Structure 1
């Protein structure tokens, strides 16, 4: 049985890495496409001129003493969303974002992508928004499938991010070897 040379071993590993790199890329192409596009959009959301992420409006007072109680602001937001957007929307809150320095309160809803900005002192609705940045983020991390299928604990998101994270790690390792391996082989050839 002929002895396998160092160069043949390196060439064999290079072929294996090339196959793994190509197969992983082909199998996960569509997912990498969505991650790259949504990642770009999320990176640019604050610089989209209000298309992806609405600007934060300003209220009349930044002094919390002048503000209405949060439960009153919550009631105003829920009434507004049901009367002016759709009476079928859920009023279940995902988060309430208090921006004291701007004098506003943002209400973000859990079961749909609508949000409101209210003046903290007067309760005036300053802005109604479709939260496109949240939609894009949910596509980016796969949680939109959890929302759509009604999974209980973001199992799809966890599986998706695990697979894509491991795939990116695998791409990094195999990609580096596809770049470095031939250089190493040429260097070894030159020294022999």
Structure 2
């Protein structure tokens, strides 16, 4: 088999591999691309994707209530909003310069923004950005199937990462080999 025939044969193999992997993973790549664009725009969405951070009454931490008091106020506010929601705190994001604490909860996508100095509720918002992030990285499957350890996310990102790597390599050869073939003829 000549070098030219060998290049042509390998190019056909790359084309098959590229088409197969691309057709199997295209929906996932589209999802990652679309959610990636949304996540890139989240801070510039006018509060639609990521809720705007409200301003509290004091940025001076000495004036602030204890974290325990702020946490209790956030939990009570979420419970009053919808008693069916889980009020177990996932994280508290302190925005000292804004005088605000954003409290996020486990098992739902809500946040309660609390004034650090008065413990007054400033806003209760659905964090659409968290939903988009979990779709983007595949961790929504871990939440849906109550998987501890993030195995769905690990599998999802590994398969898609390897798929993209294979598509990049095979795509390069699908672009380069016809140039080599023309040059050899």
TM-score by length of 2: 0.97
* 1:100-141 deviation per Cα after TM superposition (whole angstroms, max 9, x unaligned): 111110001111010011111111111111010000110111
1:36-79 alpha-carbon deviations (Å, 9 max, x no partner): 11111111111111110111111111110000000000000000
| 1:28 alignment partner, SS class | helix
Aligned to 1:100: 96
Aligned to 1:170: 166
Distance 1:133 1:162 in 2: 23
Matched residues in 1 for 2:91 and 2:11: separation?
50
State whether structure 2 residue 72 is matched by structure 1 residue 78: no
- CA shift for structure 1 position 96: 0.6
Query: Quick check: 1:110 aligned with 2:118?
Result: no
Equivalent of 1:13 in 6, 10, 14: 10
Residue 126 of structure 1: which of 118, 122, 132 is its match?
122
Gaps of 5+ in 2: none
TM-score, length-scaled by structure 1: 0.93
Distance 2:157 2:106 in 1: 21
Q: Which residue of 2 is the match for residue 146 of structure 1?
A: 142
Counterpart of 1:34?
31
Helix, strand or coil at the partner of 1:101: helix
Alignment: residue pair count: 185
Deviations 1:120-165 (A, max 9, x none): 1111111111010000110111111111111121111100000000
Deviation of residue 25 (structure 1)? Answer: 0.8
Question: Which of 66-75 and 121-130 deviates more?
Answer: 121-130
Q: Which has the larger radius of gyration?
A: 1
User: 3-state SS of the aligned residue for 2:97?
Assistant: coil
Q: CA deviation at 1:6?
A: 0.8
Q: How big is the shift at 1:188?
A: 2.9
Structure 1 unaligned regions, length at least 5: none
Q: CA deviation at 1:187?
A: 2.5
